[in-house]
Structure 1
Amino acid sequence: MLNLDRLRVLYAVRSHGSVSAAALALRVTTSAVSQQLAKLERETGQRLLAKSGRGVRLTDAGRLLAEHAERILSQVEVAHADLEAQRGQAVGELRVGAFATAARGLFPAALATLRGAHPQLRPTLREMEPEEALRVLARGDIDLAVVLDWYNRPLALPGGLARVTLFDDVADIALPVAHPLADRSEVDLTELADEHWVSWPPGAICHDWLMFTLRGRGIEPKIEHTAFEHHTQLALIAAGLGVAVAPRLGRTPVPDGVALVPLRGSITRRVYAVWREGSTGRPSVRAAVAALHEVSPDG
């Protein structure tokens, strides 16, 4: 009889590409992963891994079993969803991933709502970028993701996932209060062509969007400072060190020294809840989505 936990480890190695990456995703040691794989090889009587340079690769038998493991784990998830739906209650663990401002601006209230309404549900939150959240959701490492895309740059959704829109998050321009445009009722991005920008680090979805959008307006942005945390960005602006796009979700408190001016044309990013299609019937997923709707700005 094949052990389900060992199949999960094999599938993680295939999904993440290495034993160390699988161990990180599974939150265990690399030696624990190696031990589980060695036991699985003894159970199957097949060699599942082979050395490849400094790492390992799956053998033909390993790839074949990993493909079966993916289907088996998917069926286990459907069975879990069906049992939870049959019981009709949101119970057990619910693993959620969300980008930083959603983690700050939505989840304290959403998790408190879930705790009050569903005391047998144990939601856990991990902060992560949207693209990473979709990857780990598709692999089964989390159960629900809250992600975003921008009005002019949609985020591709992998197959097998379902989503619902929570709300549109409006973005303003954050300026030092002494800036000549700080008292305007609105400002256009083209008016900021010569500014020094405070941005998210390269590779972050919002940084890539900012570069794409400004270059689309004929502006080559001068990125002076980068920070993942919005409050760090606002602190830099309060010190007179640049300007930034500042979405409203999770933005407060805004420090003294920062002026927020609406952007002409209402630039927005759309916030979604995403889950695997096999989890659609889970009461815990439905309860979490309902809580997110309830605490959303449009809720």
Structure 2
Amino acid sequence: MIDLRRLHVLRAVAHYGTVTAAARALHFTPSAASQQIRQLARDLGVDLLEPQGRGIRLTPAAESLLAHADAIQARWEQAELELRADQDEPAGPLRVGGLAGAVSALLAPMAVRLRERHSRLTVSIQELGLPESFDLLFEGAIDVAVVEATPHNPPLSDARYDQRPLLDDPFDLVVPADHPLARRDRVDLADAAHEDWIAPVVDSACRTHVMSACGAAGFTPSVVHQAVEWNVTAHLVAHRLGVALIPRLAHLTPDLPITRIRCVGNPHRKILTCTRTGAHERPAVAAALRELRDLAPATVT
């Protein structure tokens, strides 16, 4: 008989990449986590980890076992749903998280609607980045995440997660209010090719989107300034330090002397909802997803 607690430790090692990181996430000591893996290997009569340089890697037997472990987790979510089938009214705690723009434009109004319609449901919200959103979903610390699609996300085929499109978030060219381009209703990014640019920092998910949009317009932007937060970027634009691409979902300080201009070709990022596989049918999660889908169209008009 497989001890499911030990199986969960193996899943954590696969998710975080090292025994130490998995132990930290599970609030174990590294030696205790290693002991759980060794005992699971003895129970099954196979090797689960093998050395790779200074680290470790999963054996083919472990990879095969993990495919079953992910299926077991999804079935467990389904079992909980069926056991509570007579409890159709959303109730209890619902933990949601997402990127900053999604918190202000989507998750906050979603929480208000859920509070008005389901008095027994309690919603808590966290602002989260990547890959933290996927880590907390994996750990069961949140139930729904709103994330942007990036090359670093788990693939859509990852059996642990149910990732679904929510909306396309367009990027607008943001320029000082007195910039010559500010008079246009729509702009070709190539017209800003010779401007100084303000871009997300190099390790930001949106850096790739900005550089790709400019590349599609036929140029590499001259990045003079970098910022983490979109509102900081907007303030740099307001001080005439450059132009920037900013997603429409980003809430900027009102009354800044800047102009947002729609772009030819509609460069955008894709925003997804993500739950653990099997969890999207839980009444509370299903209610949250319905509200998000209802709110999404109005956020980027």
1:282 CA drift (Å): 1.4
| Letter in structure 2 aligned against 1:234 | A
1:221-250 per-residue CA deviation (whole Å, 9 max, x = no partner) reads 112222231111112212221111122213
Deviation larger for 247-256 or 29-38: 29-38
Q: CA 1:262–1:32 in 2, change beyond 3 Å: closer, same or farther?
A: same
Offset from partner CA, 1:47-75 (integer Å, 9 cap, x none): 64455443334456655544443332232
* Structure 2: distance between partners of 1:122 and 1:38: 39
Report what 2:126 is aligned to: 125
Q: Deviation at 1:208? A: 1.1
**Residues 242 and 272 from structure 1, CA distance in 2 versus in 1: closer, same or farther, beyond 3 angstroms?**
same
2:157 corresponds in structure 1 to 158
* Segment drifting more, 189-198 vs 13-22: 13-22
Q: Quote the Cα distance in structure 2 between the aligned partners of 1:140 and 1:191.
A: 47
Matched residue SS, 1:5: helix
Partner of 1:90: 90
Instruction: Name the counterpart of 1:145.
Output: 145
**Which has the larger displacement, 14-23 or 281-290?**
14-23
Q: How far has the Cα of 1:192 moved from its partner?
A: 0.1
1:14 aligns with 2:14: yes
Deviation at 1:107, TM superposition (A): 1.7
- Contact 1:168 1:271 survives alignment (8 Å): yes
Query: For residue 228 of structure 1, what is the amino acid of its counterpart?
Result: V
Question: Within 2, Cα distance between the matches of 1:166 and 1:178?
Answer: 35
Residue 236 to residue 23, structure 1, CA distance change in 2 (3 Å): farther
Question: Are the equivalent residues in 2 in contact too, given 1:96–1:143 (CA < 8 A)?
Answer: yes
1:90–1:287 CA contact under 8 A, matched in 2: yes
Taking the aligned partners of 1:158 and 1:65, their CA distance within structure 2 comes to 17
Q: In structure 2, how many angstroms separate the alpha carbons of the residues matched to 1:144 and 1:60?
A: 31
Q: What number of residue pairs does the alignment pair up?
A: 294
Distance 1:61 1:139 in 2: 23
User: Counterpart amino acid of 1:290?
Assistant: R
On the 8 A contact 1:47/1:59 being kept in 2, the answer is: yes
Give the conservation status (yes or no) of the 8 Å contact 2:111–2:123: no
Return the letter of the residue paired with 1:20.
T
Q: 2:238 matched to which residue of 1?
A: 238
Query: What is the distance in 1 between the residues matched to 2:129 and 2:262?
Result: 27
Percent of pairs identical after alignment? 35
* TM-score of the aligned structures, taking structure 1 as reference length: 0.79
Aligned-residue offset at 1:194: 0.4
Contact 1:84 1:90 in 2 (8 A): no
Conserved in 2, the CA contact under 8 Å of 1:197 and 1:242? yes
Letter in 2 for 1:213: A
Structure 2 residue matching 1:108: 3-state secondary structure: helix
- 1:273 is matched with 273
Structure 1 residue 138 displacement after superposition? 7.5
Distance 1:172 1:178 in 2: 17
1: CA distance between counterparts of 2:4 and 2:122? 24
Q: Measured at CA, do residues 44 and 211 of structure 1 come closer, stay the same or move farther in structure 2, by a change above 3 Å?
A: same
CA contact (8 A) 2:92 2:120 kept: no
Higher deviation after alignment, 117-126 or 71-80:
117-126
1:22-47: CA deviation from partner (whole Å, max 9, x where unpaired):
23544655455345445646766776
Q: Distance in 2 between matches of 1:213 and 1:15?
A: 31
* Cα-Cα RMSD: 3.6
Shift of the alpha carbon at 1:76? 1.3
1:209 Cα deviation from its structure 2 partner: 1.9
Give the corresponding residue for 2:219. Answer: 219
* Runs (5+) with no aligned partner, structure 2: none
Q: Are the counterparts in 2 of residues 85 and 283 from structure 1 also a CA contact under 8 Å?
A: no
Q: 2:155 aligned with 1:180, yes or no?
A: no
Structure 1 residues not aligned, in runs of 5+: none
TM-score by length of 2: 0.78
Structure 1 Cα separation of the partners of residues 158 and 45 of structure 2? 34
The answer to whether the Cα contact below 8 Å between 2:177 and 2:259 also exists between their aligned partners in 1 is: yes
